[in-house]
Amino acid sequence: MRKARTDKVVCYIVVNGQLLVFTHFDRPLAEVGVQVPAGTIKVGESPEAAAVREAWEETGVEGLRVVRKLGESDYDMTPYRHEVIHRYFFELTSDTPTTGNWLRQELDPDGGSEAPTFRCYWIPLTQAHVLSGGLSNMIGALIDE
């Protein structure tokens, strides 16, 4: 059986050596882990535009911009789902000050599912190894600067 392929973006929002992450407010940490903004590239949308859109939808941070593309990789979702996700990784930043932690409800959830609520907060970039589901795959490109 051939696996479906989906193109997605993964967004590392970095400001002053801090990485913006989130957990799901209404789901167990053990089930979904610590994440960064990520999502599906829409038809006709560039990966860069998708990165900015997804990061804003999931965090509400204003003034986001792409700093650079870090790379691409494939992530096999088996056995959870019979799908391979092709991921485009981006570093983003913003000049809009954000501090502490806040709740954000996803504005456009994939597949029309119920909109999750995220608890967004900053961690030191050096602690990014805590990211789940292969989301830390390109973190080394940020740390090796």
Q: Do residues 102 and 60 lie in contact, with contact meaning Cβ atoms separated by under 8 Å?
A: yes
Burial 54-63, CB ≥16 within 10 A → b, else e: bbbbbbbbee
Nearest to 6 by CA among 108, 77, 83, 72: 83
Query: Which residue in the block uniquely carries the two structure tokens 């913003």?
Result: 94
Mean of the per-residue pLDDT values of the chain: 90
Delineate the domains of the chain, giving CATH numbers in brackets.
4-143 (3.90.79.10)
- pLDDT above 90 for 123: yes
Phi-psi region of 128 (alpha: psi -120 to 50; beta: other; left: phi over 0): alpha
Range among 26-30, 40-44, 98-102, 104-108 with highest mean pLDDT value = 40-44
Q: Do residues 104 and 26 lie in contact, with contact meaning Cβ atoms separated by under 8 Å?
A: no
Percent of the chain with pLDDT over 90: 66
Measure the CA–CA gap between 69 and 90, rounded to whole angstroms: 4
The model's pLDDT over 44-85, given as tens digits with 9 standing for 90+, comes to: 999 999 999 999 999 999 999 999 999 999 988 887 778 889
Measure the CA–CA gap between 82 and 96, rounded to whole angstroms: 39
